């Protein structure tokens, strides 16, 4: 019976060194292979790739096993949705064309089985971080994208990979939960609940898996990441559960 909805984020495929990146890719492929029997929808909630940019005629090398498995899922009729993350916001139509995937720029409000889901990668939300919010609007601008595409891919992707490594070094490795009043995605969710009702918020980006009840009818799930945690969420029509993938 194909009736489950799966959510995962922050695979960061392509993070060096290559050996661990390949091992991670194979872990993800194993998970996709396991869920293909009962999945009807798959939501990849951002930062699937550590860097992604679609040039007019060129896409970044790599990820062939991952793409192969996604193509198999797509061909089985599973609807795949990619959210743009802060590492892979430059998706311009290739994944729609190859996988029939839907690409979501920011948030997606979803209704399934009478429940309301608010889904977003999680970058640039909540209080503070004005430097990143500015950068995000710049990186997403047509001008920035046009200029970047003028660089030879060896140069452009080289710069991007160094930038990505640098931002990871700056964040200091594995993240930890800051507490309910200091987690900005929880603050953001609370703000949203003043204007509308949602049963579930689903985010990525934080790299900390959590499942927090905000009120009797609302929970916030952070999907974690696949470098250390290998966590995902599944909706079975009645329950949303945060799980850890163990092959
Ligand atoms: Mn992110």
Give me the CATH topology for the region 4-244: Purple Acid Phosphatase; chain A, domain 2 (3.60.21)
The Å distance, Cα 1 to ligand 1 centre, comes to 33
pLDDT at 210 over 90: yes
Q: What is the pLDDT at residue 170?
A: 55
* Ion ligand 1: residues, Cβ under 5 Å: 47, 85-86, 205
Residues 6+ apart with CB under 8 A from 16: 161, 165
**Confidence label for 166 from pLDDT (cuts 50, 70 and 90):** confident
The Å distance, Cα 235 to ligand 1 centre, comes to 22
The predicted model gives 165-194 an average pLDDT of: 85
pTM of the model: 0.95
Nearest by Cα to 63 from 23, 14, 112, 101: 14
Q: What is the pLDDT of residues 148-164, one digit of tens each?
A: 999 999 999 999 988 88
pLDDT at 16 over 90: no
Ordered by start, the domain boundaries in the chain are 4-244
Q: How far apart are the first and last CA of the chain?
A: 21
The Å distance, Cα 110 to ligand 1 centre, comes to 21
**Confidence label for 15 from pLDDT (cuts 50, 70 and 90):** confident
């Amino acid at each position: 019976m194909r009736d489950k909805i799966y959510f995962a984020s922050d695979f960061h495929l392509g993070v060096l060194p290559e050996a661990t990146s390949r091992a991670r890719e194979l872990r993800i492929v194993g998970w996709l292979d396991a869920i293909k029997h009962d999945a009807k929808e798959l939501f990849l909630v951002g930062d699937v790739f550590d860097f992604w940019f679609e040039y007019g005629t060129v896409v970044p090398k790599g990820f062939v096993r991952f793409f192969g498995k996604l193509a198999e899922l797509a061909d089985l009729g599973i609807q795949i949705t990619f959210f743009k993350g802060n590492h892979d916001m430059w998706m311009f139509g290739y994944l729609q064309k190859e996988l029939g995937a839907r690409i979501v720029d920011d948030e997606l409000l979803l209704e399934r089985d009478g429940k309301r889901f608010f889904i977003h990668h999680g970058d640039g939300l909540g209080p503070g971080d004005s430097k990143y919010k500015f950068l995000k609007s710049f990186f997403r601008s047509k001008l920035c994208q046009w200029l970047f595409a003028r660089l030879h891919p060896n140069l452009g992707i080289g710069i991007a990979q160094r930038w990505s490594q640098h931002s990871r070094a700056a964040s200091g490795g594995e993240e930890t939960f800051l507490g309910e009043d200091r987690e900005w995605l929880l603050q953001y969710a609370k703000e949203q609940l003043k204007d509308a009702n949602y049963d579930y918020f689903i985010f990525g980006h934080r790299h900390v898996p959590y499942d927090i009840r905000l009120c009797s009818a609302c929970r916030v799930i952070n999907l974690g990441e696949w470098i250390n945690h290998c966590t995902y969420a599944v909706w079975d029509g009645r329950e949303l559960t945060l799980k850890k993938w163990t092959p």
